[in-house]
């Protein structure tokens, strides 16, 4: 079931990292035909897989003892769920389904609605898997659960993982839709996005359980012996909570319990009907103690912390991923040879890498802590009781009633056999509990250290000199490759010249601007910026006053703008024509479009006036800035 959480997050990543292209790969009729065909093939393959497995279930005694059938059943579900993700990715990247919905005003105003449509499509694929899996599930585990209840239980258990995203994205849509500028301006800044995200994350983490228990249709455990016994255990552990609820997951037929909620006002203890009816009272006590252990050991808070850690990981590696993709020569050659859309391929490759990082993080890092937190919760039983034997017998009943192999581990739990074996060691020697506590603390310490290092890397990549150098290199690579691909135009060469100018690479700057002027002799941008460089360059070998004046005059003929007048004034000044510099400088000052520009032009004009008054040579370039460039 926890695997479904991973599937939904991957699908969200696929959808949110996709960059739509202007032109779809197929027409609407072709797209619909391919969509229906692929869905039909997926449905047929899913049916055939479970039909083949069902044919092996001859009699109860055979498949009850053959744990390999259980493994095959879960293997088919996993395989078809992954196939559903692949099919979803094909719908997004190859069929461009989202592009066909871009013309609707409501979906444009509320992008979350559009995302929900495609999430619903993925849920539909999973529902196909669960529907055909139901008959095998019934026979394999001797379940009386109906097909409808089985599908709905799987969906309802998984959907809450989407709650934070749904609220975060939905409220953001509403803010941008409403006619208030201040919230929009706040969200448009990096600081605003970060604050908004963390405020929402905290609100959802605190109050989310209230919505989740409503969504699951939990109901309070009625007053009586069972409820009172749970209440007494909570009192013994000094645990405060909002309510004790029946958890109707799979119609309550699973022997399981849960706890959710960081604060007592929104904290709920969940139990299933099967837990109450199939376990002895002392066994129920130890299961509740296990769940209390999660609260007492702050596991829910750590889970939130680990989620933030993943966000920090993506923050630190985002730029590195982009750089790695675009600097990779094989990738660039692949684009050129195949003729595929660079945006689509880059988006797809970025999505693949992002999903890979996500899987590694949750499978190996988050999974490590989940398994060991479960073991820590197991050992918390010894805090409230002298023995964990009732918990051991509970695990044995779970293995027997589920029909699953007790040796079957997963990414978030040790196997039942492993959990029983560890508790038996604790029964013999309680020092194993302390050893495990130290193991968890060491793991958290290493994790915190790693996150601090990642935070430092992320800061330097986004705000430090390293990030600036990488971004500069990134821009240069993009421009050069685009020039190579298209043959270049005035705008591309002008952008390349701007890039080199910011890096004080004056030789490269001149070559780029000259190429721009050659491509378009009326490029005011290139004419003006090159004129400014020839007039003010701090390296005297690159200065050319006469060429500067010629370019500035040509730029003004194309575009009569204040910054070009300022450049012309500077060109007159470096050629010793102070009166002309004053005239052009005053014209620039009168036409200034901002306070900052006005102050700059005024400072330049004062230099021209002072030079005319004293009849002295113009100041060195180091006394000027790059305010004259566009």
Torsion of CA 144, 150, 153, 158, to 10 degrees: 140
The pLDDT assigned to 88 comes to 95
The pLDDT assigned to 327 comes to 59
Which residues of the chain carry a pLDDT beneath 50? 60-65, 620-623
Q: 178 by DSSP, 3-state: which?
A: coil
Answer for the pair 259, 292: CB distance below 8 angstroms, yes or no: yes
Q: In sequence order, what are the residues at sequence separation of 6 or more whose Cβ sits closer than 8 angstroms to the Cβ of residue 462?
A: 315, 319
Q: In sequence order, what are the residues at sequence separation of 6 or more whose Cβ sits closer than 8 angstroms to the Cβ of residue 586?
A: 605
Apex 216 CA angle, 213 and 217, nearest 5: 85
Question: Does the CA dihedral 454-459-462-468 come out positive or negative?
Answer: negative
Q: In sequence order, what are the residues at sequence separation of 6 or more whose Cβ sits closer than 8 angstroms to the Cβ of residue 340?
A: 334
Per DSSP, 66 falls in state: -
**Structure pTM?**
0.72
Apex 200 CA angle, 196 and 205, nearest 5: 155
Please state the φ and ψ torsions of residue 340, each to the nearest 5 degrees. Answer: -65, 155
Answer for the pair 254, 403: CB distance below 8 angstroms, yes or no: no
Q: Both tokens of residue 162? A: 């989407």
The β-bridge partners of 257 are 271
Answer for the pair 279, 371: CB distance below 8 angstroms, yes or no: no
Please state the φ and ψ torsions of residue 244, each to the nearest 5 degrees. Answer: -110, 125
Query: What domains are defined for the chain?
Result: 1-188 (no CATH), 295-487 (no CATH), 505-623 (1.25.40.10)
Per DSSP, 201 falls in state: H
The pLDDT assigned to 18 comes to 81
If phi over 0 gives left and psi between -120 and 50 gives alpha, with beta otherwise, what is residue 250?
Answer: left
CA-derived radius of gyration, the chain: 33
The pLDDT assigned to 621 comes to 43
Answer for the pair 1, 154: CB distance below 8 angstroms, yes or no: yes
| Token pair 């497995």: residue | 53
What are the b/e assignments for 365-403, b being 16+ CB within 10 Å? bbbebbbbbbbbbbbbbbebbeebbbbbbbbebbbeebb
DSSP string, 486-544: H---HHHHHHHHHHHHHTT-HHHHHHHHHHHHHH-TT-HHHHHHHHHHHHH-SSGGG--
The pLDDT assigned to 343 comes to 62
- 544-to-66, 194, 195, 548, 550 alpha-carbon distances in Å: 88, 48, 51, 6, 10
Cα 431 to Cα 445: distance, rounded to the nearest angstrom: 21
Answer for the pair 603, 623: CB distance below 8 angstroms, yes or no: no
Q: 271 by DSSP, 3-state: which?
A: strand
The pLDDT assigned to 550 comes to 94
Cα 217 to Cα 153: distance, rounded to the nearest angstrom: 11
The pLDDT assigned to 328 comes to 60
Read off the pLDDT of residues 281-327 as tens digits, 9 standing for 90 and up. 999 999 999 999 999 999 999 998 898 888 888 877 776 676 666 65
């Amino acid at each position: 079931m926890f695997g479904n959480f991973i599937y939904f997050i991957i699908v969200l990543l696929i959808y949110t990292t996709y960059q739509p292209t202007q032109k779809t790969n197929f027409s609407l009729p072709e797209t619909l035909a391919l969509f229906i065909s692929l869905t039909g093939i997926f449905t047929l393959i899913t049916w055939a897989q479970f039909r083949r497995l069902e044919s092996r279930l001859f009699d109860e005694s055979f498949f009850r003892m053959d744990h390999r059938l259980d493994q095959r059943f879960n293997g088919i579900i996993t395989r078809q769920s992954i196939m559903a993700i692949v099919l979803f990715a094909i719908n997004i990247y190859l069929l461009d389904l989202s592009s066909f919905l871009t013309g609707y005003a409501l979906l444009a105003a509320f992008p979350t609605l559009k995302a929900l449509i495609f999430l619903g499509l993925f849920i539909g694929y999973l529902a196909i898997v669960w529907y055909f899996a139901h008959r095998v599930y019934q026979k394999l585990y001797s379940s009386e659960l109906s097909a409808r209840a089985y599908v709905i239980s799987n969906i309802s258990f998984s959907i809450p993982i989407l709650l934070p995203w749904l609220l975060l994205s939905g409220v953001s849509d509403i803010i941008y839709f409403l006619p208030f500028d201040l919230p929009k301006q706040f969200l448009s800044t990096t600081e605003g996005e970060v604050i908004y995200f963390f405020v929402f994350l905290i609100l959802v983490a605190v109050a989310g359980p209230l919505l989740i228990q409503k969504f699951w249709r939990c109901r309070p455990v009625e007053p009586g012996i069972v409820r009172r016994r749970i209440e007494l255990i909570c009192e013994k552990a000094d645990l405060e909570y909002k309510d004790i609820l029946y958890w109707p997951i799979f119609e309550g037929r699973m022997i399981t319990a849960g706890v959710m909620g960081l604060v007592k006002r929104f904290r709920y203890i969940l139990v299933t009907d099967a837990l109450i009816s199939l376990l002895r009272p002392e066994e129920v006590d130890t299961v509740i103690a296990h769940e209390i252990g999660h609260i007492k050991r702050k596991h829910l808070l750590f889970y939130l912390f680990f989620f933030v850690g993943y966000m920090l990981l993506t923050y630190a590696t985002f730029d590195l991923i982009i750089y790695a993709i675009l600097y990779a020569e094989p990738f660039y050659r692949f684009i050129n040879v195949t003729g595929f859309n660079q945006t689509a391929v880059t988006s797809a490759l970025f999505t693949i890498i992002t999903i890979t990082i996500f899987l590694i993080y949750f499978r190996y890092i988050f999974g490590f802590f989940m398994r060991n937190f479960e073991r820590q919760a197991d050992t918390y039983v010894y805090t409230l009781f002298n023995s964990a034997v009732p918990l051991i017998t509970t695990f044995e009943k779970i293995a027997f009633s589920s029909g699953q192999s007790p040796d079957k581990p997963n990414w978030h739990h040790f196997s039942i056999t492993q959990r029983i074996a560890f508790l038996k060691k604790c029964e013999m020697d309680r020092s194993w509990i302390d050893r495990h506590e130290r193991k968890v603390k060491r793991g958290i310490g290493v994790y915190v250290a790693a996150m601090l290092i990642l935070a430092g890397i992320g800061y330097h990549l986004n705000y430090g000199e390293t990030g600036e150098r990488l971004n500069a290199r990134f821009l240069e690579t993009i421009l050069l490759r685009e020039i190579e691909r298209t043959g270049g135009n005035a705008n591309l060469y002008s952008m390349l010249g701007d890039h080199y100018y910011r890096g004080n690479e004056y030789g490269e700057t001149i070559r780029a601007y000259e190429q721009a002027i050659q491509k378009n002799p009326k490029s005011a941008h290139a004419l003006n910026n090159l004129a400014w460089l020839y007039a003010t360059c701090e390296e005297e070998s690159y200065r050319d006053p006469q060429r500067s004046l010629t370019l500035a005059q040509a730029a003004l003929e194309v575009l009569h703008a204040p910054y070009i007048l300022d450049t012309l004034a500077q060109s007159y000044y470096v050629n010793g024509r102070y009166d002309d510099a004053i005239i052009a400088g005053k014209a620039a000052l009168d036409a200034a479009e901002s306070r900052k520009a006005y102050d700059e032009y005024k400072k330049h004009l004062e230099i021209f006036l002072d030079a005319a008054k004293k009849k002295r040579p113009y100041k060195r370039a180091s006394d000027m800035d790059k305010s004259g460039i566009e």
